[in-house]
Amino acid sequence: MKNLSVVTIIAFYILSIVACKKSTMPPAPSANNEMNATVAIAGAAPISHKASNYHVYIPRTVGSNGETYISISGNVGTPNTTSERSITIVLFNISATGTYAFNMDPNARQQAYCTYEIGNIFSYIYNQYSTETVAQAGSVTITAITATSIQGTFTANCDNYAIISNGTFKGDFEK
């Protein structure tokens, strides 16, 4: 009889967890999202960076003052290991097609920058390289942008350490 009570309690606990659905979970990134690039790290032979589906996250925020923020991030490798890599492009007040230099001029309304990360901030392995302080940092070209999606190309020099070429991205904004 005691075993039956224990089994009943365990079954109730498992059913409670399975039956619970958290309504605040964000939707999964689009299965159409892609980010591809070639990356040369510290002068080594270039490697391929190919992220797709839920490994590419593209949130867009429009503030009450009309300012826009778009982030395009593609992740590859095993999380929390030295193989984890991430390329992130951030666009401030860029909402039209065109080519935009990676330049963090505090006096400019439109700004763009790119980062290359090894590991993540929650692991003991983490390095971030950015275009923020590099004179010839590269650029991003937005080839298509709608209310629901974005597409483009990019090249980036992240701290003269990670040189990114042949970069492409496309995908749907997170809902």
pLDDT at residue 62 is higher than 60: yes
Q: Is residue 39 part of a domain?
A: yes
Q: Is residue 165 part of a domain?
A: yes
Confidence of residue 28 (pLDDT cuts 50, 70, 90): low
Residue 20 and residue 29: Cα distance in Å, rounded? 22
Please give the residue range of the domain that contains residue 150: 29-172
Number of domains in the chain: 1
Helices and strands in the chain, H and E counts: 1, 12
Q: Is residue 17 part of a domain?
A: no
Burial of 26-50, coded b for 16+ CB within 10 Å and e otherwise, reads eeebbeebbbbbebebeeeeeeebe
**pLDDT, mean of residues 25-31:** 59
Q: Is residue 12 part of a domain?
A: no
Q: Is residue 130 part of a domain?
A: yes
pLDDT at residue 41 is higher than 70: yes
**pLDDT, mean of residues 120-132:** 84
Residue 13, phi then psi, degrees to nearest 5: -60, -45
DSSP bridge partners of 156? 138, 164
- Predicted model pTM: 0.81
Q: Is residue 141 part of a domain?
A: yes
Query: In this structure, what DSSP letter does residue 93 have?
Result: S
